[in-house]
Structure 1
Amino acid sequence: MTRFEAADPAERRKLYVDAITAHRQRGSEFVTLEVDGEVFDTDGDDGTFDDGNGGESDVGAGDGLDPELGLPWIQFGDGTINVDCTDTELETLKTVLGEFPAFKIDEIHRPDDAEGVNVRISAKADPNRIAQCLDAIFQRVYELPDDVRIWVVEI
């Protein structure tokens, strides 16, 4: 792989495909994708956050995105997508996955020592379809702006 980030929707999907391909070629355990931390940049005065489109929001890029929960991330490995989300985001995730019939929730784990849930999703599809699903999860589950930058942080 020669690039590790993208912000344009089409370029992000190409990035996901490249990362999945590199992960499979290397035989690594998983690939980790993470939202750029700039989504939480504050203006420094009143605690509002840059909305990614030149404006401000009280809670960051998405209406429900909480900077205290950390950056949204997705892992993919061995035909499984792994995400952490809140209960509200889980409902949106279920809706998104309804549009991708080849993707099914295998396990929902609710750790006692953490807020939210960890979800494992069976993703037995080609890299292009997986990339479409990953981008839909980032965009709709985490309510991120269209031009959010995603980084490949581990392969």
Structure 2
Amino acid sequence: MTRFDAATEEPRRELFADAIRAHEERESAFLTVETETQDEERSPWLQFAEGILNVDCTDDELDRVKELLNDYPAFRIDELESPEDADGTNVRIAARADPERVAEFVDRLFIAVYEQPADYRAWIAAI
């Protein structure tokens, strides 16, 4: 991989798919994607490993995750964890699809679930 960030839909999706392939080729522990935040709130991120997407969500974001999954029958919630000392839920989503389809889902997740603008910037923070 030679680039590690993108800020428009097609380049972001290509970046995500390339990062997934690099993660699989390197057999790394996980892939981390981070996004730029528009204000002082937390910056959305996700991790991917062994076909599982891992994200943290508020209750409203979790509802939006479930709604988004209606468009992706090959994706399903694998596990939900809500520690008592944390606000929100850690969601593990089984993503049994090719890198391009996972990349599309990741891009839509940041926009539909985390309400990022269409021109949000994403970084591959770890492969």
Partner of 2:125: 153
Equivalent in 88, 98, 107 of residue 135 of structure 1: 107
Provide the C-alpha distance between the structure 2 equivalents of 1:152 and 1:40, rounded to a whole number of angstroms. 20
Instruction: Give the alignment of 1:40-119 within 5 angstroms.
Output: 40=39, 67=41, 70-119=42-91
Provide the C-alpha distance between the structure 2 equivalents of 1:97 and 1:132, rounded to a whole number of angstroms. 12
TM-score of the superposed pair, with normalisation by structure 1: 0.80
Partner of 1:44: none
Residue by residue over 1:131-152, the C-alpha shift from the partner in whole angstroms, topping out at 9 and shown as x without a partner, is: 0100110000001100000000
Q: CA deviation at 1:29?
A: 1.0
Provide the C-alpha distance between the structure 2 equivalents of 1:93 and 1:136, rounded to a whole number of angstroms. 10
Amino-acid identity (%): 50
Structure 1 segments of 4 or more deviating over 2 A? none
Counting matched residue pairs gives 127
Q: Which runs of 5+ in 1 are unaligned?
A: 42-66
Q: CA deviation at 1:36?
A: 1.7
Provide the C-alpha distance between the structure 2 equivalents of 1:27 and 1:82, rounded to a whole number of angstroms. 17
Q: Which runs of 5+ in 2 are unaligned?
A: none
Q: CA deviation at 1:113?
A: 1.2
Structural RMSD (CA): 0.9
TM-score of the superposed pair, with normalisation by structure 2: 0.97
2:94 match: secondary structure: strand
